[in-house]
Amino acid sequence: PGGPSKCGDKDLPKNFTCSKGDEISGSVTLCGKPRPNLSWMIGDQSINGTIDSTKADQHQYTYSFKHNATSEMCGKSVSYQATGFQNNEVSGSALIIKDKSEGGGDGGSEGLSGGAIAGIIIGVLVLVVLVALVVLYRLGKIGGGSVAATSEKSPNEQTAMKNENQKV
């Protein structure tokens, strides 16, 4: 009795590529007596797997999974956990990364990140505010001052000012 332990030539790759509509699959070969119990996960969700081959005389078992890829899977990991003799455990995982050919439509563009878009928006807003300030400053210098002074007076005061200006 013993195990589980990784053995044989099957193990998860470092990464899986996440391309919408494709199928991702993987396998791992474990040894143990008795046969290890293995469970597969994508993120925190259990997925189904199978036992593909066994070499019972060598206590060697190959486990695999196949799952349709979705965009929500990108950035998560595929993992397995196996328990065996005296609750010994072995586990492994691989990251699901986005397929570089998906994205901006030109076959290789990732598009702009959220941070880049936010930076562009902030830059445009700052530019609009600066232009508005320059326009207001110019209007104030060209004669806006007298308009502002008369507009703050009551109608009676404005009439009195006009009468005084006509007397002079």
**Using one digit for the tens of pLDDT, what is the confidence trace for 6-31?**
997 788 999 988 877 788 999 999 99
Say how far apart CA 38 and CA 17 lie, in whole Å. Answer: 23
Residue 66 lies in a domain: yes
**Using one digit for the tens of pLDDT, what is the confidence trace for 71-96?**
888 899 999 999 999 989 999 999 99
**Using one digit for the tens of pLDDT, what is the confidence trace for 120-154?**
888 888 888 888 888 888 887 655 555 444 455 56
Residue 116 lies in a domain: no
- Domain enclosing residue 64, as ranges: 4-95
Residue 31 lies in a domain: yes
Residues in Cβ contact with 144 at an 8 Å cutoff, skipping those fewer than 6 apart: none
Count the domains in the chain.
Answer: 1
Number of DSSP helices (H) and strands (E) in the chain, helices first: 3, 9
pTM: 0.57
- What CATH number does the domain containing 72 carry? 2.60.40.10
Residue 114 lies in a domain: no
